[in-house]
Amino acid sequence: MTPRAGAHPDEILTAAYLDGGLAPAARDSVEAHLASCDPCRAGVTLLRSGGGPATEDADQVPSELLVKARTGAAHPLGLSSRALAAAAAILLLCAAGVAAWRLAPAGEPRESSVILRDPAEGSVVPPAPVSPGSAAVIPRVGIVFAWTSVPGADRYIITVLGVSGETIATLEAAAGQTSARWPSHLDPPPPGPLIWKVRAVSLDRTLAESHPVSLTVR
């Protein structure tokens, strides 16, 4: 679906533009609109400029604000200190946010949130590593990882670990891709044993994760 030059792109299309996920024809139609629409262009400029890491204290949601958001801002509050303490605890959980779900065990998509739910949820077959296979011995340079596709995934994240569990590299592949080459801007991995695994991600949540595969780089 591409917008006519005059129509504002919808929210999903705009988000796909921001994520760099559009094919050239769709991208051109969004850019044609942005060139002529001051408010849309100012909005995209602002969103692109303001990502930034969410690490500062100033970005913490004040607990009383979170309580209001939870209970509905329009409702009178009348909160007990206990409720506020609970809100503070929730705040801490929020801060952990993304990290928390990423630590969810492999193959266990979060059930909770339907808006973040993948269509195939409940019967997700994890991606299966194809190559390099278990116990393979491969050269350091030009490593290509391949796996089986997972319906509903919008990207795959490949993690390469050292034997003691440290992350050596993280690669990302778009939906539809089932292989990824070691990026040329990264140094090749050191010779020795390695572990790799692949995670299917949809709507910012892990759908399923493969079992880890060990290999040796020479």
Contact status: 163 vs another protein (CB under 8 A) = no
Stretch that binds another protein, among 23-31, 136-144, 158-166, 191-199 (CB under 8 A): 23-31
Closer to another protein by CB, 202 or 210: give it. Answer: 202
Contact status: 89 vs another protein (CB under 8 A) = no
* Rounded Cα–Cα distance for residues 172 and 157 (Å): 5
Q: What minimum distance in Å lies between the beta carbon of 137 and another protein?
A: 36
Q: What minimum distance in Å lies between the beta carbon of 209 and another protein?
A: 18
11-18 helix and 24-36 helix, angle to the nearest 10 degrees: 110
Closer to another protein by CB, 51 or 165: give it. Answer: 51
Contact status: 34 vs another protein (CB under 8 A) = yes
Looking at residue 123, what DSSP letter applies? S
User: Using the rule CB under 8 A, which residue among 128, 154, 177, 188 binds another protein?
Assistant: 154
How many residues interact with another protein (rule CB under 8 A)?
A: 78
Residues in contact with 182: Cβ distance below 8 Å, sequence separation at least 6, in sequence order: 141, 142, 143, 144, 145, 169, 171, 188, 189
Contact status: 128 vs another protein (CB under 8 A) = no
Contact status: 22 vs another protein (CB under 8 A) = yes
Dihedral (CA of 138, 142, 143, 146) sign: negative
Dihedral (CA of 18, 21, 22, 23) sign: positive
Closer to another protein by CB, 106 or 203: give it. Answer: 203
The footprint of another protein on residues 42-71 (CB under 8 A) is 42-50, 52, 54, 59-62, 65-66, 68-70
Closest by Cα among 88, 78, 152 to 122: 152
* Rounded Cα–Cα distance for residues 199 and 201 (Å): 6
